[in-house]
Amino acid sequence: MKIGIDDIGLSVPQHFFALEELAERHGIDPQKYLVGIGQEFMAVPAPDEDIVTLAANAALPLLDDASRASIATVILATESGIDQSKAAGLFVHSLLGLRADCRVVEFKQACYGATAGLQMARALVAQRPHEKVLVIATDIARYEQNSEGECTQGAGAVAMIVAENPRLLELHPHQGRYSLDVSDFWRPNLRSTALVDGKLSIEVYLESLRNAWQSYRADGGLGLEDMSFLCFHQPFTKMAKKAFSVFEAIEPEAAKALGEKAYSTSQLYGKAIGNCYTASLYIALLSLLDNSDEDLTGRNIGLFSYGSGSVGEFFSATVVPGYQAHSRRKAHARMLASRTRLGHEQYSNWFYGDNHPAVADYSTPYVTGGAFRYGGCEGYRRQYESTALSLKMAS
Ligand code: CAA
Pocket around ligand 1: residues whose beta carbon is below 6 Å from it? 29, 31-32, 35-37, 111, 148-149, 151-152, 185, 196, 198-199, 201-202, 205, 233, 235-236, 239, 275, 277, 306, 308
The mean pLDDT value for 341-347 works out to 98
313 is catalytic: no
143 is in an annotated binding site: yes
pLDDT at 190: 87
For 263-289, what is each residue's pLDDT tens digit?
999 999 999 999 999 999 999 999 999
pLDDT score of 238 more than 80? yes
Q: Give the C-alpha separation, 303 to 182, whole Å.
A: 22
The secondary structure element, H or E, covering residue 307 is strand 300-307
Q: CB-side exposure of 87: number of CA atoms within 13 Å?
A: 17
Domain 173-322 carries which CATH code?
Answer: 3.40.47.10
b (16+ CB within 10 A) / e for 176-193 = bbbbeebebbebeeeeeb
Residue whose CB lies within 8 A of the most ligand 1 atoms, among 145, 201, 283, for a mutation test: 201
Q: Give the C-alpha separation, 186 to 189, whole Å.
A: 10
For 39-77, what is each residue's pLDDT tens digit?
999 999 999 999 999 999 999 999 999 999 999 999 999
Q: Give the C-alpha separation, 112 to 32, whole Å.
A: 27
**Best CA proximity match to 175, nearest among 299, 317, 48, 362:** 317
Residue nearest to atom 30 of ligand 1 (CA): 148
Q: Cis ω on the peptide bond leading into residue 310 (within 30° of 0)? A: yes
Number of residues written out for the chain: 395
Beta-strand relationship, 132-141 and 71-77: parallel
Beta-strand relationship, 132-141 and 154-164: antiparallel
151 is catalytic: no
**How many Å separate Cα 110 from the centre of its chain?**
11
Give the angle 275-192-121 at the CA atoms, nearest 5°.
Answer: 55
What pLDDT band is residue 388 in, cutting at 50, 70 and 90?
confident
How far away, in angstroms, is 29 Cα from ligand 1 center?
Answer: 13
Q: Name the superfamily (CATH) of residues 3-169+327-394.
A: Thiolase/Chalcone synthase (3.40.47.10)
pLDDT score of 345 more than 90? yes
pLDDT score of 391 more than 80? no
With 0.95 as the threshold, say if the pTM is over it.
Answer: yes
Q: What is the DSSP string of 351-380?
A: HHS-SS-SSS-EE------SSEEEEEEETT
* Ligand 1 atom at minimal distance to the Cα of residue 275: 53
pLDDT at 395: 60
Domain residue spans of the chain: 3-169+327-394, 173-322
How far away, in angstroms, is 214 Cα from ligand 1 center?
Answer: 26
pLDDT score of 236 more than 90? yes
For 84-107, what is each residue's pLDDT tens digit?
999 999 999 999 999 999 999 999
The mean pLDDT value for 315-329 works out to 97
Residue whose CB lies within 8 A of the most ligand 1 atoms, among 148, 186, 308, for a mutation test: 148
79 is catalytic: yes
Q: What is the DSSP letter of 235?
A: S
pLDDT at 256: 98
